[in-house]
Amino acid sequence: MAIVLSENFRALFYAPFYAACATGAFARAGVEVELRPSPDPLAAAAALRAGEVDVMWGGPLRVMIARDTDPKSDLVCFCDVVARDPFFVIGARPRPDFRFADLLSMKLATVSEVPTPWVCLQDDLRRAGVDPAKADRVSDRSMAENEAALREGKIDAVQVFQPYAERLISTGAGHVWYAAADRGLTAYTTLVTRRGLLASRADELSRMIRGMDATLKWFATAPSFDIADTVQSFFPDVSRDLFAACIDRYRALNLWGPDPVIRREGYDRLHAAMRSSGILSGDIAFEDVVDTKLASAAIGSVTRA
């Protein structure tokens, strides 16, 4: 029986997940995986809880929120992929000496589609001694709308991921002020399942982990155009050259983890940001939402083979 894997939503920084399917990495690891599209992260999480899918990819943020809401939640993160924050602050003019305090004197448009980017950025501001509540922030528009607004001079800076960032940079309409990946490890996207399934289908999930491990290692060394060609069908509106440039920028930032073991350091940084934002009512222990044993054993067996 195939493992049914739910897409979270369509995003370029999720490229390793698409690549694992497109290159046959899962099949070579000995597991059949059926990729199922999802309209949004909430729908993906609902399908997982309902048992309609076996695994989804998504942020530990969602798993922590589920645990905070219901201490009996059985969702668990078990395979790391996106180990750093994929978002950028892009400004209309060069600012090589950018400081977070600069954002208080301009109009900033932040991401409305998902909560994690602002949760993390507001924590960056707080750590720099800047009150995020004082920012002149546009928070109710899409990244596409914000990209257009920056080009039109209606706002001073935007918070976006790829390819929005690369389009602005490549046309001279935007300049990187801050790459959120530079803050260090931030547990951003993992494979997520239910604890019962983690036990009952451990062999198949271990094989999934090995497929992701092989894909992450390929991502680290493959020519960016080869990666773009492999997953281009998932992003038909992104040109090959732009796609490759996006991959190169993300790789330079070490966006994707070196292996599938979720690091406590990255979890702690995300957890701290969620606490400072008020999105959690209390602390959530690493062990309550993360299992590293399966990944450690899975890639250990590959190493020994």
pLDDT tens sequence across 194-238: 999 999 999 999 999 999 999 999 999 999 999 999 999 999 999
Percent of the chain exceeding pLDDT 90 equals 93
Q: What is the mean pLDDT of residues 20-38?
A: 96
Q: What is the mean pLDDT of residues 263-289?
A: 97
Cα gap 220→223, rounded to integer Å = 9
Which residue blocks in the chain are alpha helix, DSSP H?
Answer: 15-22, 25-28, 41-49, 60-69, 116-127, 143-151, 164-170, 195-200, 202-221, 224-231, 240-252, 264-277, 286-289, 293-304
Q: Is 305 helix (H, G, I), strand (E, B) or coil?
A: coil
Cβ–Cβ < 8 Å for 63, 48: no
Number of C-beta neighbours around residue 272 at 10 A: 16
Quick check: 305 pLDDT over 80?
Answer: no
- The confidence score (pLDDT) of residue 40 equals 83
Query: Looking at the whole model, is its pTM more than 0.75?
Result: yes
Burial of 78 (0-12, 13-18, 19+ CB in 10 A): buried
- The confidence score (pLDDT) of residue 302 equals 55
Q: What is the pLDDT of residues 114-173, one digit of tens each?
A: 999 999 999 999 999 999 999 999 999 999 999 999 999 999 999 999 999 999 999 999
